[in-house]
Amino acid sequence: MRPETADSLHRLLVEQLGPAVVQRLAPLGDRTTYRVGGAAAVLVEPESVDHLVVLSSTIRGAVEQGVDDVEILVVGRGSNMLVADAGFHGVAVALGEGFSNVEIDDTVVHVGAAAKLPVVARQTASAGLTGFEWAVGVPGSIGGAVRMNAGGHGADMAASLAAVEVFDVAAGDKRVLRPELLELGYRTSAIVSTQVVTGATLQLARGDAQASKDEISQIVRWRLDHQPGGQNAGSVFTNPPDDSAGRLIDVAGLKGQRVGSAEVSVKHANFIQVDPGGSADDVFALMQRIIAEVRAHSGVTLHPETRLVGFDGFAEGASAPA
């Protein structure tokens, strides 16, 4: 999106939604757990589906008038995203607190897409429900977890999803989708870039509140013992079939390898840590080095689990270049 297009779109959206909802050149890297990277050309923080309707209508009207295509990026808690230092030249959508509801009705849980996974895990455990304890160790949002079918400790979103509410910015419509339509797989789904997950329905089971709380404590302790802290975005690469990305990186001798401000964690090889004030481009360069060296050492090509935003020649969701 050209700067003049961003200026025009920003002006139109501010007129309809207000400056508290719409920003121009808003820091985006700061919204990720890496805490590095550039700005979004336009950032919209809707508090309701009505705000999304206005956003959709404005973008579709601009496109009909002949502006260049407007790329959409949905941002959750930023726990699985790396934004290039050059930023994102489109419209980033980050759902506001209006989408953070958690409503428990017997064993059915209705959650907004902005709700934090650890919060939902603890609330459902306290309500005597089981099946979502694993989520306490994932610092993301419900929406992001649906999009990538997040998981851990032997479970994932697919195991408890009953329905998903999605708003398509390109089409301007809202749908409720059954899980079988989402094509949920290992860290993948059929959700596309123009679709904003606005909420989800979870089907959990009756359990024992204290047992669930104990399990949550064990998960938290395990994460502290086995995963690094600092500025990182969790697992960088998906695990190949019947193997571990961390093991492959480790046996290739890459623990502690560094590119500028980015380093392969010495605690867990499938984590990259970045120095405060560091560079997203350093992280990306280190990812490319890891891919090349693991391929040379073991013949396996690793694929990013991290969402890569704004890197030229590397479309979001694509595998690394050979």
User: Which CATH number is 132's domain given?
Assistant: 3.30.465.10
Q: Are residues 107 and 175 in the same domain?
A: yes
For residue 55, give every residue at least 6 positions away whose Cβ sits within 8 Å of its Cβ, in sequence order, or none.
13, 17, 44, 46, 91, 93, 169
Nearest by Cα to 283 from 305, 310, 257, 261: 261
User: Could you say which of 191, 224, 257 is where a domain stops?
Assistant: 224
Q: Are residues 114 and 211 in the same domain?
A: yes
Q: Of the listed 133, 215, 263, 305, which one is catalytic?
A: 305
Give pLDDT < 50 ranges for the chain: 315-322
Q: Are residues 55 and 131 in the same domain?
A: no
Judge whether 126 and 62 are in contact, CB under 8 Å: no
Task: Dump pLDDT digits (tens) for 57-108.
Answer: 999 998 888 777 789 999 999 999 999 999 999 999 999 999 999 999 999 9
Query: Residue 234 falls within a domain, yes or no?
Result: yes
Beta bridge partners of 26: 40
Q: Are residues 161 and 204 in the same domain?
A: yes
pLDDT value at residue 69: 77
User: Could you say which of 167, 191, 224 is where a domain stops?
Assistant: 224
Q: Are residues 174 and 219 in the same domain?
A: yes
Q: Are residues 150 and 256 in the same domain?
A: no
Q: Are residues 205 and 148 in the same domain?
A: yes
Q: Are strands 258-259 and 262-264 parallel, antiparallel or unpaired?
A: antiparallel
Query: Residue 320 falls within a domain, yes or no?
Result: no
What CATH number corresponds to the domain at position 10?
3.30.43.10
Domain extent for 305? 227-309
Nearest by Cα to 89 from 39, 36, 27, 34: 39
Query: Residue 216 falls within a domain, yes or no?
Result: yes
Query: Residue 269 falls within a domain, yes or no?
Result: yes
Check if 2 is active-site. no
| Token representation of residue 76 | 């959750």
Beta bridge partners of 200: 111, 164
Q: Are residues 76 and 114 in the same domain?
A: no
Q: Are residues 84 and 135 in the same domain?
A: no
User: Could you say which of 176, 201, 224 is where a domain stops?
Assistant: 224
Q: Are residues 117 and 78 in the same domain?
A: no
pLDDT value at residue 313: 58
Task: Dump pLDDT digits (tens) for 165-197.
Answer: 999 999 999 999 999 999 999 999 999 999 999
Q: Are residues 237 and 208 in the same domain?
A: no
Query: Residue 322 falls within a domain, yes or no?
Result: no
Please state the domain count of the chain. Answer: 3
Judge whether 169 and 52 are in contact, CB under 8 Å: yes
Check if 187 is active-site. yes
pLDDT value at residue 62: 87
Q: 275-291 in b/e burial notation, b at 16+ Cβ within 10 A? A: eeebbbbbbbebbebbb
> Taking the CB of residue 68, how many other CB atoms lie within 10 A of it?
11
Residue type, 25: L
Check if 305 is active-site. yes
Query: Residue 319 falls within a domain, yes or no?
Result: no
Q: Of the listed 160, 187, 189, 279, which one is catalytic?
A: 187
Judge whether 251 and 297 are in contact, CB under 8 Å: yes
pLDDT value at residue 64: 84
pLDDT value at residue 322: 30
Q: Of the listed 79, 235, 261, 265, which one is catalytic?
A: 235
Nearest by Cα to 31 from 148, 102, 114: 114
Query: Residue 317 falls within a domain, yes or no?
Result: no
Query: Residue 318 falls within a domain, yes or no?
Result: no
Q: Are residues 236 and 304 in the same domain?
A: yes
